[in-house]
Amino acid sequence: MNIVKVNTKSSCYNINISSGRLKHINESIPIDTTSIAIITNNTISSMYIDIIKSSLKSIHKPIIEICLPEGEEYKNLHTLNIIFDNLLKNNFDRKSLLIAFGGGVIGDITGFAASVYMRGIRFIQIPTTLLAQIDSSVGGKTAVNHILGKNMIGSFYQPISVEIDIDVLNTLPKREISAGLAEMIKYGLIIDKNFWEWCENHIKNLINLDQNHLIYAIKRSCELKSFVVSKDEKENNLRAILNFGHTFGHAIESVLGYGKWLHGEAVACGMIQAAELSSNILNLKRSDVERIRSMIKNINCPILAPKIDIEKWLHAMKVDKKNTNGEINFVLLPEIGSSIIKSVSNKDIINTILITSTI
């Protein structure tokens, strides 16, 4: 099995990566666990819950399953309360364990529920989308959305382990594989030129879900993310570079309505926009901007932003958590493999939007 060790100020834990990991989930349950809630959705549950339940049989603990409605639009305080209702009705206590079994939405909301139920209980991440496996399940950011902004309510709270079974990717829609690959190449762009070039050379193998290539790329992505998180768990400085492409991306998601574009698709397009902005104000080479655009095209993600009023773009970007003092901050690339954070004038933002959007 491939293991990535995550060390943050608040805790340390393993990311276990393998084919067939679901069957061995019982190995990761702490012995003093009093009860377990598997938090999931109908799609995942119908395909895989039996494998997990069968593995958990051996440890003889009470288990409940909580199926949440699917989609980013349900990642809110109301759905959170559904979890609390179920936990309290079933007398879940401080030694109970939550298992987040699903994509980023399930992981974010389950992590947040675990962080505040009785002021914090343990949880395990079993991410079932590529995006969740390489990004949202790693690093301990939990959140729900508010009608006025994405991920505005949440916490920094680490799982006791992350369990990645690459077999589940075989049933994932192609569109979601593409969205996950977008976040994967992001790591290369912001911090590891070698990994970016490896991705350029092996993108076909990744799209075709070749097992060895997948495991290498997922492991490297988790290593890069946990390196950044271990340096700066609470996003006081370095961690913010992980938001490359996200300022534009979040604005697209929030204006179109969550769920219309996948998060990874919005970030993919946002990375092209951030690359254009980098070219404009940091002199990122034009050839590199085109390499990025061509990679996004190869992974079948959108290369043009949707048509949105400039006022709406700016308003949506203004509520980004990276901002302070009303200035809009962006993660930008001086070159591929290196990134900085910089506040940008409205004029430069507007120019970039005009050249990167559908007319």
Q: Which residues bind its own copies (CB under 8 A)?
A: 34, 77, 80-81, 84-85, 88-89, 91, 93-95, 112, 115-120, 141, 143, 146, 148-149, 152-156, 234-235, 318-319, 321, 323-326
Q: Which of 176, 183, 265, 276 is catalytic?
A: 183
CB-CB contact of 209 with 177 (8 Å): yes
Minimum CB distance to its own copies, residue 321 (Å): 5
Catalytic option among 233, 250, 322, 329: 250
* Pick 142 or 278: Cβ nearer its own copies: 142
Q: Are 82 and 65 in contact (CB under 8 A)?
A: no
Closest CA to 180 of 220, 144, 207, 210: 207
Does residue 286 carry a catalytic annotation? no
| Min separation Cβ 98 and its own copies, Å | 14
Q: How far is the CB of 287 from its own copies (least distance, A)?
A: 36
Burial of 359 (0-12, 13-18, 19+ CB in 10 A): exposed
Binding positions for NAD(+): 70-75, 104-108, 128-129, 141, 150
Could you identify the residue written with the tokens 């506040």?
343
78 assigned to active site:
no
User: What are the angstrom distances between the C-alpha of 104 and each of 118, 237, 313?
Assistant: 23, 24, 24
User: Residues marked as binding for Zn(2+)?
Assistant: 183, 246, 263
183: annotated active-site residue: yes
Q: Which of 225, 233, 253, 329 is catalytic?
A: 225
| Catalytic residue list contains 263 | yes
Nearer to its own copies, 49 or 319 (CB): 319
Q: Which residues does residue 162 pair with via DSSP β-bridges, in sequence order?
A: 15, 125
Nearer to its own copies, 170 or 325 (CB): 325
Catalytic residue list contains 119: yes
Look up residue 201 and give its amino acid. Answer: N
- Tell me if 159 sits within 8 A of 13, measured CB to CB: yes
Q: Residue 225 catalytic? A: yes
Q: Which is nearer to its own copies, 74 or 156 (CB)?
A: 156
Q: Are 292 and 337 in contact (CB under 8 A)?
A: no
Catalytic entry in 119, 212, 236, 307: 119
Active-site residue identified among 176, 243, 265, 276:
243
Cα 319–Cα 68–Cα 252 angle in degrees, nearest 5: 30
219 part of the active site = no
Both tokens of 76, joined, read 């809110």
Cα–Cα separations (whole angstroms), residue 212 to 19, 167, 224, 284, 305: 10, 12, 18, 33, 33
Question: Least distance (Å) from its own copies to the CB of residue 320?
Answer: 9
Radius of gyration of the chain (CA): 20
CB of 88 to its own copies, least distance (A): 4
Q: Which is nearer to its own copies, 95 or 297 (CB)?
A: 95
Q: Would residue 233 show up in a list of annotated catalytic residues for this protein? A: no
Indicate which residues carry an active-site annotation: 119, 141, 183, 225, 235, 239, 243, 246, 250, 263
